[in-house]
Amino acid sequence: MMIAQLRLIEMMSPHSYIAVRKVLGAGSGQESPGFNGLLRVAPDLGAAMQGVLKRAGTDALTVHREPTKYPLLYQLTECVLDFDELFQTFRYQHIMLVKRIIGAGTPSLKGKPTELLERSMRTPFYPDLWEVRETMFADFVRGESLTKK
């Protein structure tokens, strides 16, 4: 939904957006209750997922190496990763919106450079879930099953 909302603003010309920016005062998207709510829930979601995995006596790597043995846990980890991916997609779309409307060199209403937004985009909530893929494919040998090891 957040990505769809950005599309509305993206359709504005820079000239039209100036009128919107004037009434924002010193406000920032990072002061949005919805945005901050997602930032607050992300660690809890990760901790809850880790708790479920621990109670099941396994970890994300094992679940991904044996998805048919752990179908519900596999689905859980993939849904958590979906949340992370969509949030990162939102961050990317937001950066592109900023560049399209006000330019990459224009500071935010708080006076911060665009680079800070770009840095946050490169910081996933659940790096361990992304690393599962790297670990699985690090030892990949053509023709061998990924369930080995």
Q: What is the pLDDT along the chain (149 residues), one digit of tens a residue?
A: 778 888 888 888 888 888 887 777 666 666 777 888 899 999 999 999 999 999 999 999 999 999 999 999 999 999 999 999 999 998 898 888 888 888 888 887 777 777 777 887 789 999 999 999 999 988 777 767 655 55
Residue 148 has a pLDDT of 54
CATH of region 31-135:
1.20.58.480
3 state SS of 68: coil
- Residue spans per domain, the chain: 31-135
Residue 80 has a pLDDT of 98
* Tokens 């997922």 -> residue: 49
pTM assigned to the model: 0.81
User: What are the residues whose beta carbons fall under 8 Å from the beta carbon of 83, sequence distance 6 or more?
Assistant: 42, 45, 125
Residue 83 has a pLDDT of 96
Phi and psi, residue 89, nearest 5°: -65, -40
User: Among the residues of 1-149, which ranges form H helices?
Assistant: 2-10, 14-24, 33-55, 60-65, 71-101, 114-121, 127-138
Residue 64 has a pLDDT of 97
CA distances to 44, 45, 63, 73 from 117, in Å: 23, 23, 33, 32
Residue 17 has a pLDDT of 86
Phi and psi, residue 73, nearest 5°: -70, -35
Residue 29 has a pLDDT of 66
